[in-house]
């Protein structure tokens, strides 16, 4: 199937995006609107912001929760063709501090959404946002989709795996056309900094405030940082290609980047002279290195990340500069 086919598919389709006011969700919504889709967003705004979303006639925003029966009935009344399930109680540290909230949203919320999707029975695709954090800490690199472990380090990792297990059940028993997207350290416009947020928006926020950038560890730790629009492209492919049904796919950049390099690059781009401060590694953070194998994603859905690291960081810094007043007001620090 050609590139134009998977993009053309979304024209005039009704698409549901849960968590659509978040970083990845809002960029996905914007892309879908550009493809002339009609988009329904449900978000409880605990970690998303309506100002992240465009104001157009083709978007219906519902402030609601995926654990709430009334809210679910409301969104399914719109009769979506594809569901992108991005709503989550986000972040490993957040789940350690509030494990019951994590289970309520990521466990019960996902289960309820799957149940409604199964009862509804008219979906072409259900795309579940999973996480690369569920891979074993001692696994050899790069991480391949078939790797798994029952020894997980945070409630977030547990509930993300739980979502996949429930998804597999509904695929096998209810014929729900589901696919799992395992994100690797996404970054880009749309993410407001805060205690439970990712390292790149926090680094940019501190650097723009001319503060020292804290690294928990030696800085030699690596992650597979993936620009948000590459993630969005992967999601659109998963929503279209039949080869994706019943499978899990890594959505990463396929490269290792040292945390120290990220801090140095951000300090350079923001002209921050405060430098870097090295702190003790967090007890739950046992993965010193992380790297995605994207061979399966390339082969089956044509996924091919395009954005270079410095290019993506520049776009993100520019978004911070353009939205600084809103970001500063809503920052969770």
Q: Are 37 and 13 a contacting pair, CB within 8 Å? A: yes
User: Alpha-carbon distance 148 to 23, whole Å?
Assistant: 27
The DSSP code for 182 is: E
Among candidate residues 9, 49, 156, 196, the one labeled active-site is: 156
- What 3 state SS string does 8-70 have? HCCCCCEEEEECCCCHHHHHHHHHHHHCCCEEEEEECCCCCCHHHCCCCCCEEEEECCCCCHH
User: Alpha-carbon distance 306 to 328, whole Å?
Assistant: 30
3-state secondary structure of 116: helix
To the query of whether residue 303 is one of the catalytic residues in this protein, the response is no
| Overall residue count recorded for the chain in this entry | 333
Catalytic amino acids? 156
């Amino acid at each position: 199937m050609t590139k134009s086919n998977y993009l053309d598919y979304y024209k005039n389709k009704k698409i549901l995006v849960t968590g659509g006011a978040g970083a990845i969700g809002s960029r996905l919504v914007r892309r879908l609107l550009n493809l002339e889709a009609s988009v329904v967003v449900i978000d409880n705004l605990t970690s998303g912001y309506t100002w992240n979303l465009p104001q157009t006639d083709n978007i219906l925003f519902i402030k609601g929760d995926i654990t709430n029966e009334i809210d679910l009935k409301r969104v399914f009344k719109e009769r979506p063709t594809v569901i992108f399930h991005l709503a989550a109680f986000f972040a490993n540290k957040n789940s350690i501090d509030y494990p019951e909230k994590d289970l309520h949203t990521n466990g019960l919320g996902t289960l309820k959404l799957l149940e409604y999707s199964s009862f509804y029975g008219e979906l072409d695709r259900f795309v579940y946002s999973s996480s690369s954090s569920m891979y074993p800490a001692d696994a050899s690199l790069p991480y391949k989709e078939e790797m798994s472990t029952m020894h997980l380090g945070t409630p977030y990792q547990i509930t993300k795996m739980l979502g996949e297990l429930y998804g597999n059940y509904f695929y096998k028993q209810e014929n729900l056309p589901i696919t799992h997207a395992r994100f690797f350290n996404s970054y880009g416009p749309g993410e407001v900094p805060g205690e439970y947020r990712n390292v790149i928006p926090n680094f940019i926020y501190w650097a723009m405030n001319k503060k020292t950038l804290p690294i928990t560890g030696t800085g030699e730790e690596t992650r597979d940082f993936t620009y948000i629009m590459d993630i969005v492209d992967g999601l659109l492919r998963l929503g279209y290609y039949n080869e994706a049904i019943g499978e899990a796919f890594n959505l990463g950049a396929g490269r290792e980047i040292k945390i120290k390099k990220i801090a140095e690059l951000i300090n350079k781009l923001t002209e921050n002279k405060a430098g870097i401060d090295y702190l003790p590694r967090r007890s739950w953070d046992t993965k010193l290195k992380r790297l995605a194998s994207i061979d399966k994603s390339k082969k089956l859905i044509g996924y091919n990340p395009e954005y270079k690291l410095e290019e993506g960081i520049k776009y993100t810094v520019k978004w911070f500069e353009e939205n600084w007043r809103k970001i500063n007001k809503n920052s969770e620090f």
